[in-house]
Amino acid sequence: MPGSLNCTEKGQIFSFDAVIAGAILILLFSIMFTYMWSMEEMRKEARLKMQEDAKKLADDLLSAGIPANWDSGSVTNAKKLGIARQTSNEIQYNKLQTIISYCASGGAAPCAVGECGIKICSDAEYGVLKDKFGLTYGFNVSIVKDPNAVSPVYLYSFGKSTTTPRSIVVLNRIVYMNESINPNAKIPVHLRIEIWEQ
């Protein structure tokens, strides 16, 4: 009888349509896996570059700079900016002050002792510092007293900070700095470097 069900025929386990659908599904999963793997590799490479930038910046800052008396001129004329004394990890205040003053005042005269502190660079000065340090990512440099405290004390800072980085690398180095009260007394502080990607 036409239109009636014939229940005696067996169904097919695989049809040509099912094979094509399965192949497309496997292809889509392969593409998705390859994309996710390559994105993860790119993130790893970017993070590695950020770590290298942080180490390079720390090494540059913990040198005397080139020339060693670059702070007697201007930030823009220095070949390499360093804030340490020639043979130690002691921060030379006048070099730090020169960078912070440049950052804060658009390259004008240095700020007075005690007036330098935490400064956010304008875009122009930030760009010059980024070029001087050879960085491709955003950066912020801080001198921190007791960074492990509940409320660490940020003594000095320059660069730009970010509140919503995609990725951030933080590097701390212990350095020494003269106290403002007693210039002969050296106190341990941390040079904190943040390299971030927006």
Span 109-148, pLDDT tens digits: 444 444 455 667 778 888 889 999 999 899 999 888 877 7
Domain-embedded: residue 177: yes
Under the banding of pLDDT at 50, 70 and 90, the label for residue 180 is: low
Domain-embedded: residue 26: no
Domain-embedded: residue 154: yes
Domain-embedded: residue 175: yes
pTM of the model: 0.73
Domain-embedded: residue 31: no
Q: What percent of the chain has pLDDT over 70?
A: 81
DSSP 89: S
Rounded to the nearest 10 degrees, what angle do helices 16-61 and 123-133 cross at? 90
With residues binned 3-state (H G I as helix, E B as strand, rest as coil), the percentages for the chain, rounded to 5, are 40, 25, 40
Span 40-68, pLDDT tens digits: 888 888 889 999 999 999 999 999 888 88
Q: What is the mean pLDDT of the chain?
A: 81
Domain containing 119 equals 38-197
Number of domains, the chain: 1
